[in-house]
């Protein structure tokens, strides 16, 4: 067992740290992570390029055909796809926090953190906070590109609510990828596992196309897919339509995922050899 493995003294360390101490440690680690991004601006490429590439790709490649099915052509598809891509943003950003966390472990950075008298959860909360900031940057770029291709913002409070809902759900997904970052051997394994999770959930949802056009078995899958609930809630908030059912489903998924995965991620981080 390594020198950084959990000992009884370290096991009780978090209990002796006050809430103010946890917040101070989290703030310091957030600053460290932001400085790292400043030194490595290429780490922001996914947050900057993803919303641009996906918006242009889906609007100009699929917008005409799917838009006709929606009854309005490409303009109708823009109103449909932009809220869907916002829902998709959190999941894609969540994958990044898992790979980055794994790289920190393999480089020895996390061994140093775990040897310091800081709250173990502070390291994870700092990672999530910085990733949420990256997600908000990506969402801002998405909305700018969306407006440029014809998205009509008619409900600013609804837009802000949709952004908040996507951020809350995205933070829940980050606990899953933090757990993968701790347990998988390398960043490539985290990316591969993330791909296997992301693809079925993203394309088997209402993000890109109405589920009514899908085969019956796939349409049934989309009804239970949390990304469909998030995408539909975002559409209702941003462009109008039913909101309550999908909003409560999304919040329910958020609470359930966080309640299950947050303790697992923190425990794995504390006890990793």
SS3 of 175-196: the string is HHHHHHHHHCCCHHHHHHHHHH
pLDDT at 4: 43
Least confident of 10-19, 78-87, 126-135, 211-220: 10-19
Structure confidence at residue 33 (pLDDT): 78
Give yes or no for a contact between 204 and 221, defined as CB atoms under 8 angstroms apart.
yes
Residues 6 or more apart whose Cβ sits within 8 Å of residue 11: 270
Q: How confident is the model at residue 43 (pLDDT cuts 50, 70, 90)?
A: confident
Q: Is 229 helix (H, G, I), strand (E, B) or coil?
A: helix
- Give the separation between CA 265 and CA 261, rounded to whole angstroms: 6
Per-residue model confidence (pLDDT) at position 156: 93
- Residue 29 in tokens: 């680690």
Cβ burial of 108 (10 Å; 0-12, 13-18, 19+) is exposed
pLDDT tens-digit map of 226-268? 999 999 999 999 998 889 999 999 999 999 999 999 999 888 8
Rounded to an integer, the average pLDDT of 184-210 is: 86
Whether the pTM exceeds 0.75: the reply is yes
Alpha-carbon distance of 127 to 170, in angstroms, equals 13
DSSP, collapsed to helix, strand or coil, labels residue 191 as helix
Among 62, 67, 44, 206, which Cα is nearest to 140's?
44
CA-based angle 244:250:254, to the nearest 5?
140
CA distances from 217 to 84, 220, 228 (A): 21, 5, 15
pLDDT band, residue 9 (cuts 50/70/90):
very low
């Amino acid at each position: 067992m390594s020198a950084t493995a959990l000992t009884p003294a370290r096991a009780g360390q978090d209990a002796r740290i006050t809430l103010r101490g946890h917040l101070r440690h989290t703030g310091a680690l957030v600053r460290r992570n932001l400085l790292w991004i400043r030194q490595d601006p290429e780490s922001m490429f996914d947050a900057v390029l993803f919303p641009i590439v996906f918006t242009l790709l889906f609007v100009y490649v699929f917008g005409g055909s799917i838009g006709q099915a929606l009854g309005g052509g490409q303009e109708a598809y823009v109103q449909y796809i932009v809220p869907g891509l916002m829902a998709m943003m959190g999941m894609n950003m969540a994958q990044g926090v898992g790979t980055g966390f794994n790289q920190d472990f393999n480089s020895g950075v996390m061994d140093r953190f775990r040897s310091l008298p800081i709250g173990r959860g502070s390291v994870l909360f700092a990672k999530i906070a910085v990733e949420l900031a990256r997600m908000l940057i990506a969402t801002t770029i998405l909305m700018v590109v969306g407006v440029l291709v014809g998205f009509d913002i008619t409900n600013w409070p609804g837009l802000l609510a949709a952004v908040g809902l996507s951020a809350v759900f995205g933070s829940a997904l980050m606990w899953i990828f933090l757990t993968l970052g701790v347990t998988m051997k390398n960043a490539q394994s985290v990316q591969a596992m993330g791909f296997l999770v992301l693809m079925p959930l993203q394309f088997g949802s209402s993000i890109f196309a109405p589920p009514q056009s899908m085969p019956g078995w796939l349409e049934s899958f989309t009804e239970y897919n949390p990304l469909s609930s998030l995408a539909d809630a975002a559409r209702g908030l941003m462009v109008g339509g039913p909101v309550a059912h999908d909003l409560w489903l999304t919040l329910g998924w958020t609470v359930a995922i966080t309640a299950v995965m947050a303790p697992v991620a923190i425990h794995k981080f504390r006890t990793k050899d």
